Chain A
Amino acid sequence: MKTKNHWIATSIVVGGALSATLGMVVRDRMDLPIVERVAFGDAGPLVASRDNSQDLTEIPEREYFEQMSELLKREYVDPITDDQKLIAGSVRGMVSSLEDPRSLFMDAESFTVFQNARQGKYEGIGADFKLIMPAKAANATENVFSRVPRLAIAAIAPGGPAAQSGLKPGDVVDSVDGHWVVNNDLLDEFRALQKKVLAKEAPADELTKMREELRKRMERSMMPMRARERLVTGDSGNVDIVVTRQGKPVEVKLAKSTTSVEAVRVEDGTFIVHLQAGVGPALAERLPKSGQVKLDLRNNAFADSATLNEALKALAPSGTYGVLANERGKTTPISVTEGRADKLTYTIIVDRSTSGAAEILALALAEKGLAKLEGGSVAGDPSLTEVVKLPDGSGFTLHRGSYRSEVKK
C-alpha cells in the first residue's frame, strides 16, 4: 500500500521516476476517515471490539471467508449478490500470492481461450506465452515493479499469423500496439545509472533523460498479462508487436485469425505432434508397428497430465518413466499401464519451445533408451501443471511438480 502522509511527507510529483512507477500499480491513498466510524453492534465475531481485540486466535479459512463475505454484504456501499464473484476473487488472490508464472488465474473469457488452445484451436496471433520472473537484482529495494515478469513467446502454432510473420519462441514482448509492456529491466537500469551518477561516473543529465523516457513509457503502458490477453484473443483486426530477439528489437505487424493445429500431422515421414486432447488415439492409429520413428515435439509449451499420459501410453510400453517431484519432498511415479506391446524407438526433435509435459515426454523416453533427442536443447522446464475450472467459468493453472528421472535420488 502506498500512503502519502508521513510526517516527513513524500511530496511525490508527477514526472519523478519513482512516483511514476509506484503510483502505477498500487494506487491507494491514505483516507483519513471522513466520517465517524459507525457502530458495529451486530458485526459478527470477526470484528474486533473492546473485549476481544487482544485475542490473537487464528481463525480458520472457512469461517474467515464466511464472515468476511457477510461483513462485505452488510457494509459495502453497493449490494453484493454474486457469491461466485467473491469466490473467484479470493481464488485470484490466492493464486497470485504464489507468485509463480506457472500458476495463473484466468477470468471466464481468458480461460475459455486458454482451454481452446489446449484443444488446438488458437485465436489472436497463434502463439503460447510464458512469463519470466525477473532475477532479483542485488541491492534492489522492494517495490511494485520488482515482481513484474517479462512476457515471452513460448511456442508458435504452425501455420498461424505468428508463424507466418516470423516470430520465434524466446522472443520477449516489448510493446503491443504502441503500449509498453511493463517490466523491471528499465527500472533496474535506472537504478544502476543513479549509482553511477552518484559516483560521478556518469553525467546527471543522463539520469534526467532516462527519467523522462520512463515517464513517457509509463503513460502508454500495459501489464504483461493484459498484453498476453490482447495477443491470444480475437480472430480479426491487426496488431503491432515489438519483440526483443537476441538483444535487438524486431517489429512485426500481423492480422489476427484463428489457427487450427492437429494433434498429429505427418510430413515427410516426420510425426509433428501437438500435445492436446486426443493425441494418444491419433498417434496409436498412425504410428507404424515397428522400427524407428521421427517425432517433432517443438512448439509444445503447455499440456496437462492427462495429455501427457495418453501420449506416453501411445508411444511407450508399460512401465515407470521417472517421477514427478515437488518441493515438499513428495514424488509420484509417471507410469504407463496397457502401453505399447511392441517397442518403437524414436528420434525426437526438440528445442527451447519444448517445455512442460512435452519436455517430460522427451526426457522420459530418452532416459529409458527409447529415444534420441536432436535439434536443440529443451526449455529446461519439465513441469507439470494442473488446470482447475471454477463454477463461474473462470479457472487457474496450478504448478504440481517437475520431472525427475528415477535414477537420481
Chain B
Amino acid sequence: MFTLGYAWRDLQTGRLPKMQAVTTLLGVTPDGRSMAPADQFQQIFRKISNDYARPVESKKLKYAAMGGMMASLGDPHTVFLEPKQAQEFSLETRANFVGVGARLAPDSLGAKVVVVFEDGPASKAGLKPGDTISAVDDEACAGKDIDVIVGSIRGKEGTTVKITVLRPNVDKPIDITCRRARIVTPTVEGRILEGEKIGYLSVAQFAEPTTEQFDRMLDRLEAQGMKGLIIDVRGNPGGLLEVAKDMLSRFVERKVVVKMKGRRGAEEVVSTDSGQVRFATLPIVVLQNEESASASEIFAGVLQDYRRATLVGDHSYGKASVQNVIPLIDSASVKLTIARYFLPSGRDISRKVDEDGTYVSGGLQPDVKAELGANAEGVFGDPKTDTQLQKAMEIIRGKM
C-alpha cells in the first residue's frame, strides 16, 4: 500500500517518469526572470540527488561538483582537494617524512630499491640498492601500485617494518627489519663517472636544503678534477623558485631567471645574484625528461637561454604557472593557478593536452633528443644502461 500511495503521488505531481522527452533547465524562474548561477546549480544538484536511481551521498556530490567546476577552467594545475586529499597534500609539501630512508622505482615483482639514504634506518638494517622488495610485513607486493607499497612502508615514528627483498645472486628472500624514523631527504647526489673527468650530479627536487647540498657536491666533484658537468633533473617535479635561482647564480650573473605575470597585472622579475658564479666556462649538459617540471624547467631553460648548457633527453613537462593552495573551512582546499611565468627568452613552454590529458605540445625542447632504452627502466645514472646519460656523456666529451 505504501508503495502504491507513494507512486500515485509521484504520478500526480508528474515527477516520475517525466512526461516530456527532454527536461530543459533554462535557467529561468517560473515568472521568467533569469536565475542566479548558484540557484541554477542548486536546481541541478537537487535533480540529481532526488531523481537518480541510486542513493546519492550529498557531500560526495558537492565535492564532485567543485572538482568539475575547477576542471572546467582547463588548467590541469587548478584542482579541488577534498579534505582527505588536502591533508595528504599538505603532508607531502613538508619535506620530511617518517620512513626508512630509501627511494623506490616500480618493478614487476614489487618495488626496486634505487637509492638507500646514507645513515638512514634502511641503510643501517642492510637494505641495498638493486634489491627488489617483494613483501612488506609479509604482504606480497607484486602487482601493487608503487604508491601503495610506499604507503605500507611508511608509518609511525619508532615502529618497525619488515621488508622482504630479493637480492641478485642470493637464492632465498631476505627479511630486513627497519625502525621507522624521521628522514630528511637528500635532494642532491653525485659522483665522478668512472674513468672520466665528468661530474654527474642529480637533483631530485628544489627544496630548502638543496642549494647547500648542491654546493657541497660541486666542491667534491671539483676536488676530484671535474672537467665537465652533467646535471640530471629527470623526474624532478620542481620546488622553490628561490632555490633554483640560487643554484643558477653559480653559473650566470645578474641575469633574468623568470618574469612572472599575475592576475592583477603586476609583473615580477627574478634575477640571479652577483658575485656567486663558480663555473663561468665549465661545459654543462642538463638531462631532462617529461617528469621534469616547474623549477626544473626554469633551471634548465635559463641555462639553455643563456647558452650555458646543452639540454639532452626528452621534452620537459611544460609547467609555466604558479599555484597557491587555499585551505577551506571544511578542511578541503583549493589549489589554483595565480600567475604565469616566462623564461628570459620570453618563450611559452606551457603544456598543451587534448581532452584526455594526453601531451600534445609544450615543455622545453631538448637540444639533443635522447630516449631511454627499455633496459634502463627504474634506475637513472648508470652509464651502462642509461641511454640518455650515455648521450649526455658523448656530448660533454665533445666539449671538454
Contact = CB atoms under 8 A, between A and B. Distances in A.
B322 A34 contact: yes
DSSP class of B's interface residues: helix, strand, loop or mixed? mixed
Interface in A54-100: 55-59, 61-66, 68-69, 71-72, 75-80, 83-98, 100
B89 A195 contact: no
Contacts of B358: 24, 221
Interface in B293-348: 293-295, 314, 317, 319, 321-331, 334-340
B68 A331 contact: no
B38 A65 contact: yes
Contacts of B280: none
Nearest to B73: A76
Interface string B1-12: 001101100110
A13 B334 CA distance: 29
Contact of B38 (A8, A62, A182, A223): A62
Contacts of A9: 103-104, 185, 204
B142 interface: yes
Nearest to B81: A1
Interface string B52-67: 1111101111101111
Interface stretch (A232-240, A285-293, A322-330, A371-379): A322-330
B69 A28 contact: no
Given A8-B154, A93-B67, A306 B21 contact: yes
Interface string B232-261: 000101111100000000000000000010
Contact of A195 (B10, B37, B142): B142
B51 to A, nearest CB: 6
B45 A388 contact: no
Interface in B1-55: 3-4, 6-7, 10-11, 16-27, 37-42, 44-45, 47-48, 51-55
A18 B146 contact: yes
A27 interface: yes
B364 to A, nearest CB: 15
Given A5-B92, A35-B241, A143 B145 contact: yes
A contact residues, range: 35 or more
B140 interface: yes
B50 to A, nearest CB: 10
B183 interface: yes
B331 A56 contact: yes
B71 A92 contact: yes
B295 A34 contact: yes
Interface stretch (A264-272, A339-347, A397-405): A397-405
Contacts of A91: 41, 44, 65, 68
Interface in B139-175: 140, 142-148, 150, 153-154
Contact of B17 (A26, A78, A95, A332): A332
Given A86-B69, A89-B71, A10 B150 contact: yes
Contacts of A101: none
Contacts of A26: 357
Interface of B: 3-4, 6-7, 10-11, 16-27, 37-42, 44-45, 47-48, 51-56, 58-62, 64-73, 75-81, 85, 88-89, 92-93, 96-106, 108-109, 114, 134, 140, 142-148, 150, 153-154, 183, 185, 204-207, 235, 237-241, 260, 262-263, 289-291, 293-295, 314, 317, 319, 321-331, 334-340, 355-358, 372, 374, 376-380
Given A28-B76, A66-B38, 12 more contacts: A7-B183, A12-B291, A34-B241, A48-B327, A61-B45, A62-B42, A68-B80, A87-B37, A87-B69, A142-B145, A195-B142, A324-B17
6 contacts: A8-B101, A72-B73, A76-B73, A80-B73, A92-B72, A93-B69
